[in-house]
Structures are given as structure tokens and as C-alpha cells.
Amino acid sequence: MKQRQALRERLQQPEILVLPGIYDALTAKIAVSVGFDALVMGGYAIAASRLGQPDVGYLSMTEMVQALKVIIDAVDVPVFADGDTGYGNALSVRRTIQEYEKVGAAAVLFEDQVWPKRCGHMAGKQVITAEEHAKKIRAAADAKTDADLLLIARTDARAVNGLEDAIERGKRYLDSGAEALFIEAPQNEQELEQITAAFPKTILVANMIEGGKTPNLTSKDLQDMGFKIVFWPCSALYMITEAFAKGMKVLHDTGTTRGFEENMMHFSDFNKFIGLEQYAELEKKYK
């Protein structure tokens, strides 16, 4: 509850909330260590890190809850959680938000794709009817027990039916109990501005994916347009994949990591970062 209240207070500030995407306890701790005050856990990165598979609906709700709990236990900041489609009908959405709430999510989003879903910037998406997803949002709003848990409605209709339909769906989802709106994959700055013009008093979420459908703008650009929250959900995954591949190539080609050491954290520094000193103090306390 503390983190949900902290999120509510943070959203009262004029500055846009910038959320890096993380997928495990370590990436969460790294992001917090450099100053981020909230995080987002997305299914794209969880699928890649846990399964080595694309974001095409392979993950179950149970796997996502497990991943979420590990992340929340590792840090002391609000964590946004990807609820995908809710993993079924409106009753499945009820259980999903209840399970996410139990492990400490500060915000949960649900999207209107047909299951199995796929990443919002991939081709081939389909959406359910606005009526069906509105019922799912209502079910989520009714099922949460903490009023401070932020419910976000996401629509992927832009790629399927066009921006006008996505905006109309957004209005319907807000009327059904969502407090924030995430219209996925607008294709240019004009579309982003159309979204903020249509929802001047709504908590709006933007999503920046390197190489995705939406131009990669700065958080200041998006704040000036009227967005309140921005995700960079895949950046950590892409950064780590690229850096690890380069380091492994050096090891493979030269038989040592010496040529890559300047790009690495060393033994003592990593032990300090991960909390070994605190563990040693506790060990002394209970001897």
C-alpha cells in the first residue's frame, strides 16, 4: 500500500513519470540505483528472459505473478505490472488483478487484444470488441481491494481499426473504471497530439520502443504534449543483450575477458552493489 500511495503522490507532480522496463530483481535494482523512482514490468521482456521466446502469448498469469513478486521484493519503489489481456474472460481478469495486488503491484494494465496476444508493435494483432474489454475493465475495477491501485486500460486498436476507434475505445474504458489510458503504437507526433487533445484531463501513458511504430521522443517532448507517464519497456533487454553478446564474443574469440574488462563491473564492486556488506552485518548480528 505504501508504494501505491507513493505513486499517487508522484503523479500529482508536474513532471512526467519515466519508467524503465525491467524483467528481474537485478535489472530492477540497477534501475533504482541510478535514480528511477518507479519501474514497469512488461511481458515482452519477461518472455524473452524467462523463456527465450517472443512476446506472443506464451506466458501464463502464474509465471507473470512469480516474476512480479521477485521484482517487487527487490526494490522499494512502485512497480507497474503488465496484465496482458487478463488471461481469459472478465472473471479471469478479476483473479489476475487480485493476484497482482497481493504481491504488491502499484499499477496494473489490461489490453484489448485477442489471446494469444503479441507485442503491441508487432504486425498481425487483433482486438476484441470494445464492449467485451469494457466489461473486463469493469471487472478489474470491481475486484481490486485497494483504491490506490492504479488501473490502466490499454487499447491496441490503432493498428487494427485506426486511431479514431482507439480514441473511442479509450473513452469507453475510462467510463468503465480505468483511471489511466494507454493507446498503443501511435505512428507519428500528430497522432500523439491527437490523443492528448482527446483526453486533456486523463493520466495518459506513452510507450517508447526503439525501432517500434512510435517515434522515440524525449520525456520532455511527451510531457509538453500532455502525457503523464512514459514507458521505455524494452531498453534494458536490448542494452543487456547487445552488451552481453559483445562480451561473449571477446571471450569466445580470444579465450579471455581481458579485452572487455573496462566494460564490466568487477568482483568487489558487484558484491558491494548486490548487498554483500549488509549480509555480513546481519551475519555478525545473529552469531
Q: What is the pLDDT of residues 201-234, one digit of tens each?
A: 999 999 999 999 999 999 999 999 999 999 999 9
What is the torsion angle, in degrees rounded to the nearest 10, for the CA atoms of residue 209, residue 59, residue 28 and residue 267? Answer: -110
Instruction: Tell me the three cell numbers of residue 202.
Output: 486523463
Specify the pairing of strand 39-41 against strand 150-155. unpaired
Q: pLDDT (tens digit, 9 = 90+) per residue, 247-261?
A: 999 999 999 999 999
Residues of the chain with CATH 3.20.20.60: 2-240
CA 79 to the chain's CA centroid = 8
Instruction: Tell me the three cell numbers of residue 249.
Output: 564474443
Q: How many CB atoms lie within 10 A of CB 148?
A: 15
Residue 120 is predicted with a pLDDT of: 66
- Residue 94 makes CB contacts below 8 A (sequence gap 6+) with 139, 140, 142, 143
The superfamily (CATH) of domain 2-240 is: Phosphoenolpyruvate-binding domains (3.20.20.60)
Q: pLDDT (tens digit, 9 = 90+) per residue, 108-131?
A: 999 999 988 877 676 778 999 999
Alpha-carbon distances, residue 124 vs 56, 119, 214 (angstroms):
11, 10, 17
